[in-house]
Structures are given as structure tokens and as C-alpha cells.
A and B are shown apart, each in its own frame.
Chain A
């Protein structure tokens, strides 16, 4: 019997839940470790900043606060325009990301939805492959 830490967290919380009168012991229990990770992550991010604010000496002066760029005055604003190519890459990523998101519930119930469900997804993928071939042939995937 090899149970990971998540198992004991869940067992422990289930025990506490029973004590506190919680009545929702179901799949949400599986996400309790993730909630704990989020809480610990937020605390881990905030605590050092808070400690620094409280404990470190703080006497700012204009020279300390000014931007430092290899000893020169800053030449220009740090805000520069991005190339539109990044946008193209990002939007093509989103489209195929969505395609993958549709594959997950399909894979879970593939045995129940039968051949109709299988061919529904096959048609879905075929339509998107048309787009994929188009973007490949147009050279949208090349970075030049």
C-alpha cells in the first residue's frame, strides 16, 4: 500500500470534515491539495515582500530610484512595439489549443458514444487539418 502525500491530506481532511459537519465529500476532495498549493504559493510570494518591507532599512533618494542602464541615462522608453508575427503565432496556438481541449471529453467517453462520436471528431479534425495545411502552405509557420 503506497499512498502519496495527497492521499493522507485527503484522509486527514475527510476526518476533519466529518468532525466539522461538512457534507460535500466528493470529487472536490481531489482538488484540495491544489487549493493548499495555491494558498502556500500566495503566502510564499507575499511573505518575503512583507518581511522586506517591515524589516529592511528604507531611505530612498533620487539616485537610488532612478533607472540604471549601464551607467548611461536611459536612451528611450522600455515600451517598444512588438512585431505582429508574435500575434500570429499566439492566435494559431490558441486555435489548436481549443482543438485539443475538445479532444479531452471525447477521449473520456469514446467507448460510450460509439462510431457516430468517433466520426464527428474525425470530421472536426479534418476541417481543422484544412486550416493547418493552409497555414503550412502559406508559410505562416516559418519564422524567416
Chain B
């Protein structure tokens, strides 16, 4: 067993442990932190597959940004941990049905002929100087340019949807607009009256 194989088993064991904790941890913040651990170890596995860019993007985008978002969402939800256990048994049948359906779908996909171990022979050793990042770049921006532009459109939809759903201008807002302060003219503020002098 080479050192890389040993690393694979270490990373895989941590990944499975973290993934199990994600669904069994009763505190949702702990679950999110275990999901961070799972992403880190998955990044390690991708690195072992020599997928440099994907591994670093996983850490950068998922651990750095998506998990921050998850933590914010959990903090916004105001979860009461004691009350969460109450409806465990009444929700269990529904959860089992959904979980069973997911497992059935995943096993159908993963055992299909395209994903069988026989259908996927071991990849050839990449030649020296092979760069996964360069391969990705050569394909994404030429052969897959159309899906790439679709990704931009999806990101645009996400920007607009996030703003439309959550952005509110709060009433009673006392914020000052510096541009309007600077643009103000004398006639907006001062009115000079000519009054006749009063005689007594």
C-alpha cells in the first residue's frame, strides 16, 4: 500500500464519519461544522485524484462561502433545540419515505452500467507535466462555452432572486445621502424676505 493509498483511506474514513455526524448531530451548528470537515476531506480526496483546481475551489467556495451562508441561515432560523425533539416520532414515517426514495434513486444511478466498476476502468497514469487545471480551461471555454454562459445566466437569476426576496428598504431610515447634501443650493435652505421697517 502506497502512502497515497493510506491517505485515501484516512480521508475517506474522516469523510464518512463527518457525513454521519452531519445527519445525527442534534445541534444544527455542530452539523454545519461537520459538513465543513466533510468538505475539507472531500477536497483532500480530489487532490489525491490530482484535481488540483477542483480541490482548492471546493475549499474556497464551499468551505469559505457556502458554509458561511449555511451558518447565517441557521442563526436566522432561531432554532429551539429542546422543541426539535418533540415531533421526531410523528415526522419519522415521512422522513423514512423520503430517505428511502433518495436511496433507491441513488442506487439506481450508481449501479447503472455507466457507473459500474467494470464500465469504469482505472484511469491511465497522467503523463508528466499534466495539469488538471489546464485541461479544465481548455474544455470549459471552448467546447463547453454554451453551458458556461448558462452558468452566468443562472448566477444572474440567483443575484436577482436573492435581492428580490430579502432586500428591504426599512421605514424610518435616518441615513443621510451625501450627494444630496452636497448638491443643496442656498435657495433650498434660506429665504430672504424684504420687510418694510416698522415705525412706532
Using CB atoms and an 8 Å cutoff, list the residues of chain A in contact with chain B.
17, 20-24, 26-28, 31, 35, 79-88, 90-95, 97-99, 101-102, 104-106, 108-109, 112-113, 116-117, 120-121, 123-125, 127-128, 130-132, 134-135, 138-140, 142, 144
> Which of B92-100, B110-118, B133-141, B189-197 is the interface stretch?
B133-141
B90 at the interface (CB under 8 A from A): no
The CA-CA distance from A80 to B169 in the complex, in Å, is: 22
Task: Indicate if the CB atoms of B160 and A20 lie closer than 8 Å.
Answer: no
In the bound complex, residues from chain B placing their C-beta under 8 Å from that of A31 are 47
Q: Which B-chain residue is minimally distant from A104 (CB atoms)? A: B53
In the bound complex, residues from chain B placing their C-beta under 8 Å from that of A98 are 61, 155
Using CB atoms and an 8 Å cutoff, list the residues of chain B in contact with chain A.
2-4, 7, 47-48, 50, 52-53, 57, 60-61, 64-66, 68-69, 72-73, 75-79, 126, 128, 131, 133-134, 136-138, 140-142, 145, 148-149, 151-153, 155-156, 158-160, 162-163, 166-167, 169-170, 173, 175
Task: Indicate if the CB atoms of B138 and A82 lie closer than 8 Å.
Answer: no
- Determine the main DSSP class of A at the interface with B: helix
Q: Would you give the shortest CB distance from A137 to chain B, in whole angstroms?
A: 10
Q: Which A-chain residue is minimally distant from B163 (CB atoms)? A: A140
Q: Would you give the shortest CB distance from B105 to chain A, in whole angstroms?
A: 27
Q: Would you give the shortest CB distance from A19 to chain B, in whole angstroms?
A: 12
Task: Indicate if the CB atoms of A17 and B145 lie closer than 8 Å.
Answer: no
In the bound complex, residues from chain B placing their C-beta under 8 Å from that of A99 are 155
Task: Indicate if the CB atoms of A124 and B162 lie closer than 8 Å.
Answer: no
Task: Indicate if the CB atoms of B141 and A117 lie closer than 8 Å.
Answer: yes
In the bound complex, residues from chain A placing their C-beta under 8 Å from that of B145 are 116-117, 120
Task: Indicate if the CB atoms of A91 and B134 lie closer than 8 Å.
Answer: no
6 cross-chain CB contacts under 8 A: A24-B4, A87-B72, A94-B66, A102-B151, A113-B137, A116-B141
User: Of A23, A88, A132, which contacts B167 at CB under 8 A?
Assistant: A88
Contact flag A88-B163 (CB < 8 Å), given A109-B138, A113-B142, A130-B156: yes
Contact flag A104-B133 (CB < 8 Å), given A82-B72, A94-B65: yes
Task: Indicate if the CB atoms of A88 and B141 lie closer than 8 Å.
Answer: no
The CA-CA distance from A86 to B71 in the complex, in Å, is: 10
The CA-CA distance from A93 to B159 in the complex, in Å, is: 10
Q: Would you give the shortest CB distance from A46 to chain B, in whole angstroms?
A: 14
In the A-B complex, the 7 residue pairs with the smallest Cβ-Cβ separation, listed nearest first, are: A109-B137, A105-B137, A131-B159, A117-B141, A127-B152, A82-B75, A94-B65
Task: Indicate if the CB atoms of B65 and A135 lie closer than 8 Å.
Answer: no
Task: Indicate if the CB atoms of B50 and A92 lie closer than 8 Å.
Answer: no
Q: Which B-chain residue is minimally distant from A87 (CB atoms)? A: B72
Task: Indicate if the CB atoms of B76 and A140 lie closer than 8 Å.
Answer: no
The CA-CA distance from A90 to B159 in the complex, in Å, is: 11
